[in-house]
Amino acid sequence: MENKDQYAVYGNPVKHSKSPQIHAAFAEQTGQKLNYRAHKVELERFAEVASQFFSHGGKGLNITAPFKLDAFKFADQLSGRARRAGAVNTLALQEDGSIYGDNTDGVGLVRDIHDNLGWELNGRRILVLGAGGAARGILGPVLKQKPAHVLVANRTVEKAQNLVKLFDAMGDVSGCSYEGLIGTQFDLIINGTSASMTGDLPPLPHHILSNDGCAYDMMYGPKPTPFMRWAAAEAAWAVSDGLGMLVEQAAESFCIWRGVRPDTKPVVELIRQSLSA
């Protein structure tokens, strides 16, 4: 029987994960021999289970909630973007036996917005909703695109302000409460909150989108999210969910592990079809 390199995604919950389907498609497309599975890890057991995976010959892991901080602590070496984000979503076994940690979320978002959707980030006024792990993972790569300004809005203003302090050397970035958004206007709004999962919506004022403003929800599903429906009602020029980001961040992980970059477009279409099946 042919031996295949072993990869997995660790999370809790993880049953909903599309990562096995995505990486199977990448492997088939690029002729790579690997197995990839989803594994639910009990809370408090991440380091133990990850150590076992690598000691038994595992080559790489994707990490989803709630273990990205655990993975950050677990890695022997960190990429610059993982260090800035304070979180790791990709672990890779190195030739010397050490574990390399990276964060591909932000570059996945930027690739989807810029390359796939064709939206401009350079020189734009960008609003990021939420100051949790999702926002933290994307701020560095977004600021690297040299937007005119990035504002992080959060229910707790202190959390937003503490987050932007970590990135203020990279560009013009500030934080505020949702109440502080009154009278402001943006070219792109990125929803980094989990509100879409609960059918909720951050309290956003009317006319906050510019005439050619776009809206991007990092969440995705078979139907438009509440945030996407709000943006369409606000006459957004374009609206997207985060499925492309999911596939793009996975492609970056795959490239780190295998040294080859898959074509993401057919895989986005494949996963989109599976959502509506």
92 is in an annotated binding site: no
- How far from the centroid of its chain's Cα atoms is residue 263's Cα? 18
265 is in an annotated binding site: no
Considering the four listed CATH numbers 3.40.50.10860, 2.120.10.70, 3.30.430.20, 3.90.1490.10, the one that applies to the domain covering 5-102 is 3.40.50.10860
Considering the four listed CATH numbers 3.40.50.720, 3.20.20.80, 3.30.365.10, 1.10.3720.10, the one that applies to the domain covering 106-243 is 3.40.50.720
The pLDDT score that the predictor gives to residue 1 is: 44
83 is in an annotated binding site: no
Q: What is the rounded CA–CA span in Å between residue 275 and residue 13?
A: 18
User: Which residues belong to CATH 3.40.50.720 in the chain?
Assistant: 106-243
pTM above 0.85, yes or no: yes
* Catalytic (active site) residue 68: yes
The pLDDT score that the predictor gives to residue 2 is: 61
97 is in an annotated binding site: no
Q: How confident is the model over 61-79, as pLDDT tens digits?
A: 999 989 999 999 999 999 9
244 is in an annotated binding site: no
What is the pLDDT averaged over residues 94-108? 97
Amino acid at 127: L
User: Which residues belong to CATH 3.40.50.10860 in the chain?
Assistant: 5-102
Q: How confident is the model over 237-260, as pLDDT tens digits?
A: 999 999 999 999 999 999 999 999
Q: How confident is the model over 164-192, as pLDDT tens digits?
A: 999 999 999 999 999 999 999 999 999 99
**Average per-residue pLDDT for the chain:** 95
Catalytic residue among 68, 144, 146, 223: 68
